[in-house]
Chain A
Amino acid sequence: MSLMCKSCSKAVLNKKFNIKLNCHDDLVIALAGNPNVGKSTVFNALTGLNQHTGNWPGKTVENARGNYKHKDKKFVLVDLPGTYSLLANSVEEQVARDFICFGKPNATIVVTDATCLERNLNLVLQVMELTDKVILCVNLMDEAKRKKIKVDIKGLEKELGIPVVGTTARSGEGLQELMDQVYEIALGFQTTSPRPLVYTPDVEWKIEELTPKLVELLEGKLNPRWVALRLIEGDPTILDSIRNFLYDDKDSNAQEEVACIYEC
Chain B
Amino acid sequence: MKEGYIYEKIMPLSEIDVGYTVQVLKLLTTGLQRRRMLDLGLIPGTVIEVLRKSPLADPIAYNIRGATIALRTEESRQILVRQMN
Interface residues of A (CB under 8 A from B): 34-36, 84-85, 87, 89, 113, 115-116, 118-119, 122, 233-235
Q: Are B65 and A234 in contact (CB under 8 A)?
A: no
Nearest A-chain residue to B39, judged by Cβ? A85
Q: How far is the CA of A195 from the CA of B39 in the complex (A)?
A: 19
Q: Which of B9-55 contact A (CB under 8 A)?
A: 31-32, 35-36, 39-41
B65 contacts which chain A residues (CB < 8 A)? 116, 118-119
Chain A min CB distance to B18 (Å): 21
Known: A119-B65, A122-B39, A234-B31. 12 other contacts (CB 8 A): A84-B40, A85-B35, A85-B36, A87-B36, A89-B36, A116-B65, A116-B67, A118-B65, A119-B41, A119-B64, A119-B67, A233-B31
Q: Are B32 and A233 in contact (CB under 8 A)?
A: yes
A34 contacts which chain B residues (CB < 8 A)? 67
Show 13 residue pairs from A and B whose CB-CB distance is below 8 angstroms, ordered by the A residue.
Answer: A34-B67, A35-B67, A84-B39, A85-B39, A89-B36, A116-B65, A116-B66, A118-B65, A119-B41, A119-B66, A119-B67, A233-B35, A235-B32
* Interface majority SS (helix, strand, loop, mixed), chain B: mixed
A118 contacts which chain B residues (CB < 8 A)? 65
Q: Are B41 and A122 in contact (CB under 8 A)?
A: yes
Interface size on B, residues (CB 8 A): 11
A89 contacts which chain B residues (CB < 8 A)? 36
Interface residues of B (CB under 8 A from A): 31-32, 35-36, 39-41, 64-67
Q: How far is the CA of A34 from the CA of B36 in the complex (A)?
A: 14
Chain B min CB distance to A180 (Å): 29
| 4 closest residue pairs by CB, A with B | A116-B66, A85-B39, A119-B65, A119-B41
Q: Do A87 and B40 form a contact, CB below 8 Å, given A116-B65, A116-B66?
A: no
Chain A min CB distance to B36 (Å): 5
Q: How far is the CA of A184 from the CA of B67 in the complex (A)?
A: 32
Q: How far is the CA of A233 from the CA of B66 in the complex (A)?
A: 27
Chain B min CB distance to A176 (Å): 28
B64 contacts which chain A residues (CB < 8 A)? 119
Q: How far is the CA of A34 from the CA of B39 in the complex (A)?
A: 11
Nearest A-chain residue to B65, judged by Cβ? A119
Chain B min CB distance to A104 (Å): 24
B41 contacts which chain A residues (CB < 8 A)? 84, 119, 122
Chain A min CB distance to B78 (Å): 15
Q: How far is the CA of A248 from the CA of B31 in the complex (A)?
A: 29
Nearest B-chain residue to A123, judged by Cβ? B39
Q: How far is the CA of A117 from the CA of B32 in the complex (A)?
A: 24
Q: How far is the CA of A118 from the CA of B36 in the complex (A)?
A: 16
Report which residue of B31, B35, B39 has the largest number of chain A beta carbons within 10 angstroms of its beta carbon.
B39
